[in-house]
């Protein structure tokens, strides 16, 4: 039965594509509009519009799609025979026909996905619910073509001349040239961007102030692990070994970053601080200032044509103004500087915040024997790490399409469909977690479940946090083993602790501010000046016009300035499109 249904899916999509191509060739918006549902969404990733944008509703989709297809030369939409075949799936609670597409544009090839509700396919007049178009490769600059051009001779005639290692070391010094791209930040965001650029033959240099690659993970608190499973967190080109655990420890991640840089031959300068840059409009390049090995006072000036800020969504600690906290005579530390609770055994500690870092640190302190209390400042989304938190990554479970195909499915889901799907998943997670959630409310913990009940993924995209995947700390809070107070119940701080509004005094020796991080836009004014900061505007969070994250992975209003960040999966997926755009600019195809 499934085979017959999937065969039928192929016929449905083939007929729909024939009509799509005919409507585009005829330049007929009404004929094109008839192929889409009234509530359709079209998401384009660089292929037709040159940016990342979602367009909604039939008339606007028809108008914009025809306009963009004409301008970009998009044509020959067909089922992609090299990918997973058309099939019947469920998306956002709806039975759908889903198919991978291929097409061409004036500058390259495209990959897409069309999705049609099954209920719209029965009368023979199929209409699309969603359409993705994305740039797959640049003609003449495909990764395979670049690799072939860079292939070295089978052997060297001069055995005493520079070998591979000599050439690698010399090239990474950039002593006699500038990189085309300077990437600021050497975590997973910067490294994945560099790997994608290298595969396209674009010279990119990563700089990071840490002394060792991976230290941004290695130096975090002792018990940290990734809170989602490895199958959604793979890096481009080089997935994690199958023998690795589902939830990867921080030091394993740190060492992976280090080995990935070596294996992928990424140019990386450690111990290097990016001090800022100015744009030279005449030369069409940046003047970037770098301090290296600060103790020795080494300084370098580089002139890249592009700067990619990859300092992560959570790059700069957010230290809020907390009235009277300056009176406290004990230790105050931001969560980014917290490493272990071992020295606080038997001592009173307060952790401000109820997000992931706060809960993990509180659990670490509790395990070390500290007398720990969480201070809740605002309602927080809590979901058990299994199964609830993993429901949203369902596309990466089980057999089926390749990782690359699953990534394409992931980016094909427009915001409106995503919200519907996530409401369903959040309801399922709440049902699974009901005993825990009830117990938390009974001890006074304030809960919320995301905008309109859409759960944690959209909270991450909107503000970069505000939730916790429970790996044990919530159970300890519910049992009273980790204390809980509300921030609004604190009257003031003293040299030795806190005074509550009911007059009770609470001793404290350590206060951990797990108060989150500032977004990437915080650094723009500091490093590039107020004029560029104003021109670029906010980074991260949704732009309601485009229904996309602001200034992420696309040309910003400031020429030559780009942003890369987000989760491991986001960086893996979107670094591809970031690199394609930079390559296109480098070879004059933009």
Tell me the CATH number at 364: 3.50.50.60
Q: Of the residues 501, 517, 533, which one is the last residue of a structural domain?
A: 517
Burial status of residue 130 (CB atoms within 10 A of its CB: 0-12, 13-18, 19 or more):
buried
Partners of residue 87 on adjacent β-strands = 98
C-alpha to C-alpha distance for 470 and 10, rounded to whole angstroms: 42
158 assigned to some structural domain: no
Q: C-alpha distances in angstroms, 410 versus 65, 214, 567, 574?
A: 21, 27, 13, 11
**182 and 299 share one domain:** yes
DSSP assignments along 303-362, one per residue? --SEEEE-S-TT-EE-----TTGGG--SEEEEGGG---SGGGTTSEEEEE--SHHHHHHH
**472 and 451 share one domain:** yes
C-alpha to C-alpha distance for 206 and 290, rounded to whole angstroms: 12
Over residues 276-316, the pLDDT tens digits come to 999 999 999 999 999 997 556 789 999 999 999 998 654 57
Q: How confident is the model at residue 519 (pLDDT cuts 50, 70, 90)?
A: confident
DSSP assignments along 462-498, one per residue? HHS--EEEESSHHHHHHHTSSEEEEGGGEEEEETTEE
pLDDT of residue 400: 85
pLDDT of residue 123: 56
Task: List the structure tokens of 48.
Answer: 């037709």
**492 and 550 share one domain:** no
Distance of CA 223 to the CA centre of its chain: 23
Taking residues 63-67, report their average pLDDT: 98
Q: Note down the domain range covering 240.
A: 169-315+519-586
* pLDDT(157) > 80: no
Burial status of residue 557 (CB atoms within 10 A of its CB: 0-12, 13-18, 19 or more):
exposed
382 assigned to some structural domain: yes
pLDDT of residue 1: 39
**372 and 475 share one domain:** yes
27 assigned to some structural domain: yes
153 assigned to some structural domain: no
- The CATH code of the domain that includes 131 is 3.10.450.50
Looking at the structure of the chain, the number of domains it has is: 3
Q: Of the residues 487, 517, 547, which one is the last residue of a structural domain?
A: 517
163 assigned to some structural domain: no
**311 and 332 share one domain:** no
pLDDT of residue 7: 66
**186 and 71 share one domain:** no
Partners of residue 348 on adjacent β-strands = 371
344 assigned to some structural domain: yes
**457 and 405 share one domain:** yes
C-alpha to C-alpha distance for 42 and 127, rounded to whole angstroms: 13
**295 and 338 share one domain:** no
Q: Are 181 and 308 in contact (CB under 8 A)?
A: yes
**124 and 187 share one domain:** no
Backbone angles phi, psi at 60, to 5 degrees: -70, -40
154 assigned to some structural domain: no
Nearest Cα to Cα of residue 574 among 461, 419, 463, 451 = 461
**289 and 423 share one domain:** no
Q: Is the peptide bond before 387 cis (omega within 30 degrees of 0)?
A: yes
pLDDT of residue 131: 98
CA angle, 107 then 416 then 540, to 5°: 70
Task: List the structure tokens of 437.
Answer: 């959630």
pTM of the entire structure?
0.93
Q: Of the residues 138, 155, 186, which one is the last residue of a structural domain?
A: 138
Q: Are 373 and 482 in contact (CB under 8 A)?
A: yes
**64 and 209 share one domain:** no
Over residues 318-340, the pLDDT tens digits come to 888 999 999 999 999 999 889 88
145 assigned to some structural domain: no
Containing 108, the helix (H) or strand (E) segment is strand 108-117
Q: Are 112 and 72 in contact (CB under 8 A)?
A: no
pLDDT of residue 312: 67
**290 and 187 share one domain:** yes
């Amino acid at each position: 039965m499934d085979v017959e249904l999937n065969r039928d899916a192929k016929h449905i999509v083939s007929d729909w594509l024939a009509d799509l191509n005919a409507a585009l060739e005829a330049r007929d918006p009404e004929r094109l509009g008839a192929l889409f549902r009234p509530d359709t969404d079209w998401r384009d990733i660089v292929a037709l519009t040159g940016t990342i944008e979602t367009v909604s509703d039939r008339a606007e989709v028809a108008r914009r799609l025809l306009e963009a297809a004409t301008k970009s030369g998009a044509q020959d939409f067909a089922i992609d025979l090299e990918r997973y075949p058309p099939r019947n799936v469920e998306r956002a609670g709806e039975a759908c026909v889903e198919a991978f597409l291929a097409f061409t544009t004036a500058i390259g090839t495209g990959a897409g996905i069309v999705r049609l509700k099954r209920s719209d396919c029965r009368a023979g007049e199929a209409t699309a619910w969603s359409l993705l178009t994305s740039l797959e490769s640049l003609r003449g600059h495909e990764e395979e073509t670049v690799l072939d051009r860079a292939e070295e001779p089978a052997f060297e005639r001069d055995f005493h001349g520079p070998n591979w290692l000599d050439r690698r070391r010399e090239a990474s010094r950039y002593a006699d040239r500038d990189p085309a791209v300077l990437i600021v930040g050497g975590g997973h965001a910067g490294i994945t961007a560099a790997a994608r650029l290298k595969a396209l033959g674009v010279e990119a240099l990563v700089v990071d102030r840490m002394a060792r690659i991976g230290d941004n993970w290695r130096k975090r608190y002792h018990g940290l692990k990734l809170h989602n499973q490895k199958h959604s967190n793979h890096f481009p080109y080089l997935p994690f070994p199958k023998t690795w655990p589902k939830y990867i420890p921080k030091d394993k991640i740190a060492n992976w970053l280090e080995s990935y840089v070596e294996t992928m031959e990424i140019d990386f300068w450690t111990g290097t601080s990016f001090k800022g840059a100015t744009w030279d409009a005449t030369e069409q390049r940046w003047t970037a200032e770098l301090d290296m090995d600060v103790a020795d006072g080494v300084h370098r000036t580089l002139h890249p044509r592009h700067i990619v800020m990859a300092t992560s969504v959570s790059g700069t600690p957010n230290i809020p103004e907390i009235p009277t906290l300056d009176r406290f005579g004990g230790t105050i530390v931001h969560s980014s500087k917290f490493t272990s609770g071992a020295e606080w055994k038997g001592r009173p500690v307060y952790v401000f915040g109820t997000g992931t870092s706060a809960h993990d640190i509180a659990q670490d302190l509790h395990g070390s024997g500290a007398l720990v209390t969480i201070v809740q400042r605002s309602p927080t989304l809590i979901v058990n790490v299994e199964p609830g938190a993993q429901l949203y990554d369902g596309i990466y479970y089980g057999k089926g399409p390749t990782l690359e195909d699953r990534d394409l499915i992931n980016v094909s889901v427009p915001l409106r469909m995503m919200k519907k799907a996530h409401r369903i998943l959040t309801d399922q997670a709440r049902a699974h977690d009901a005993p825990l959630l009830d117990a938390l409310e009974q001890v006074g913990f304030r809960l919320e479940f995301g905008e309109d009940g859409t759960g944690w993924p959209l909270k991450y995209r909107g503000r970069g946090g505000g939730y916790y995947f429970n790996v044990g700390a919530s159970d300890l809070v519910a049992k009273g083993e980790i204390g809980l107070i509300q921030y609004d119940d604190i009257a003031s701080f003293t040299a030795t602790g806190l005074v509550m509004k009911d007059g009770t005094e609470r001793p404290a020796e350590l206060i951990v501010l797990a108060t989150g991080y500032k977004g990437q836009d915080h650094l723009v004014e500091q490093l590039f000046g107020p004029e560029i900061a104003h021109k670029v505007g906010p980074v991260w969070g949704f732009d309601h016009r485009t229904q996309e994250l602001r200034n992420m992975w696309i040309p910003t209003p400031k020429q030559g300035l780009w942003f890369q960040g987000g989760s491991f999966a986001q960086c893996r997926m979107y670094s591809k499109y970031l690199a394609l755009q930079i390559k296109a600019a480098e070879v004059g195809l933009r």
